[in-house]
């Protein structure tokens, strides 16, 4: 089996990087310099025509979209490692619901925040009222997660799964550029700490 992972640090690729480290499967890494425009090179566009990281090539088959990659890795390698529920189980249904929610609903809000606040985008395309609306939605969605985590340690089942990695990576990234008082969200804060302190995530951020 051969797996090649295309990434840039502190991007949507970080959640996939964390998942690969949790699974402990062998893979090769290819780092792209986004500011230098390496994502637009023809050889990368052949893998991801969207010119974005992450991308994964498994035995010659290219994949893109971080959530698609995480679900694929979970189904194929995560079940036997206790990191992803078995297809067809109730927990698998919950894993899909919370992972897709984290990418589409919460992730959509996070990207709106990013587009409207980050210097990566031109000032004239940034909109302060939209940023404020997205910030309020982000706080409300963090509240939904805090509620979900009441009386439980992880989002699905009774132990850490890749669902936690997918969501915690996105939230930790968002909190690096949007300040939110998470002390009002004690169950979310404890879960975020518990999840992001895992050695696999620490290894991703170590270099
Ligand atoms: N929905 C995509 C988002 C991918 C994405 O937006 N990647 C950004 C980094 S966070 C990127 O590669 N941007 C490069 C560019 O737009 O030029 C996913 O989850 O994989």
Nearest CA to ligand 1 atom 11: 52
Q: What is the pLDDT of residue 4?
A: 98
3-class DSSP state of 122 = coil
CA 179, distance to chain mean position in Å, is 19
Q: Are the C-beta atoms of residues 7 and 32 closer than 8 Å to each other?
A: yes
Token output for 135: 């910030």
For the stretch 59-65, contacts whose Cβ atoms lie closer than 8 Å and that sit 24 or more positions apart, written own/partner, are 59/1, 59/2, 60/2
User: Hey, what are 191's tokens?
Assistant: 């879960």
pLDDT of residue 34: 96
User: Of 52, 73, 114, which is best to mutate to test ligand 1, by the most ligand atoms within 8 angstroms of its C-beta?
Assistant: 52
Q: Could you name the CATH architecture of 90-198? A: Up-down Bundle (1.20)
Instruction: From 129, 121, 83, 113, select the one nearest 173 (Cα to Cα).
Output: 113
Q: What CATH number was assigned to the domain covering residues 3-83?
A: 3.40.30.10
Return the domain boundaries, the chain.
Answer: 3-83, 90-198
Give, in degrees to the nearest 5, the angle at Cα 205 between 200 and 207: 105
Q: How far apart are CA 19 and CA 88, in angstroms?
A: 21
**Strand pairing category for 55-58 and 28-31:** unpaired
Residues in the chain, pLDDT under 70:
none
Instruction: Pick the residue whose CA is nearest to atom 8 on ligand 1.
Output: 52
Residue-wise pLDDT for 95-151, tens only, equals 999 999 999 999 999 999 999 999 889 999 999 999 999 999 999 999 999 999 999
pLDDT of residue 120: 86
Query: Which ligand 1 atom minimizes the distance to the CA of 54?
Result: 20
> In sequence order, what E strands does the chain have?
3-7, 28-31, 55-58, 61-64
The ligand 1 atom nearest the CA atom of 111: 6
Give the residue among 135, 138, 118 at the shortest CA–CA distance from 126.
Answer: 118
Ligand 1 first shell, C-beta below 6 A? 11-12, 34, 39, 51-54, 65-66
Q: Give dist(CA 106, CA 67) in Å, integer.
A: 13
Spatial CA neighbour of 77 closest among 6, 19, 135 = 19
What pLDDT, on the 0 to 100 scale, is given for residue 9? 96
Instruction: Let me know: does 171 contact 142? Beta carbons within 8 Å.
Output: yes
Structure tokens at 118: 């980050």
**Residue 126: what pLDDT?**
94
Going from the Cα of 7 to the center of ligand 1, the distance in angstroms, rounded, reads 10
Burial readout 28-41 (b: 16 or more C-beta within 10 A, e: otherwise): eeeebebeeebbee
What is the per-residue pLDDT across 114-127, written as a single tens digit (0 to 9) for each?
999 998 899 999 99
| DSSP 3-state of 53 | coil
- Per CATH, 3-83 and 90-198 having the same topology is answered no
Ligand 1, atom 14, lies closest to the CA of 52
The two tokens of residue 103 are: 């990418």
């Amino acid at each position: 089996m051969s797996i090649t992972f295309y990434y840039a640090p502190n991007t949507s690729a970080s959640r996939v990087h964390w998942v690969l480290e949790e699974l402990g499967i062998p893979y090769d890494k290819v780092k792209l310099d986004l500011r230098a425009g390496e994502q637009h090179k023809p050889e990368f566009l052949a893998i991801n025509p969207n010119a974005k990281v992450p991308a994964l090539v498994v035995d010659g088959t290219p994949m893109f979209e971080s959530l698609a990659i995480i679900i694929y890795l979970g189904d194929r390698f995560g079940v036997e490692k206790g990191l992803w529920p078995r297809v067809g189980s109730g927990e698998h249904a919950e894993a899909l619901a919370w992972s897709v929610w984290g990418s589409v609903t919460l992730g959509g809000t996070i990207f709106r925040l990013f587009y409207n606040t980050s210097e990566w985008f031109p000032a004239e395309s940034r909109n302060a009222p939209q940023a404020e609306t997205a910030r309020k939605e982000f706080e409300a969605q963090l509240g939904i997660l805090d509620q979900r985590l009441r009386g439980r340690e992880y989002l699905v089942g009774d132990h850490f799964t890749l669902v936690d990695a997918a969501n915690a990576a996105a939230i930790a990234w968002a909190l690096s550029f949007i300040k939110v008082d998470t002390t009002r969200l004690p169950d979310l804060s404890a879960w975020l700490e518990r999840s992001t302190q895992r050695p696999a995530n620490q290894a991703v951020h170590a270099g």
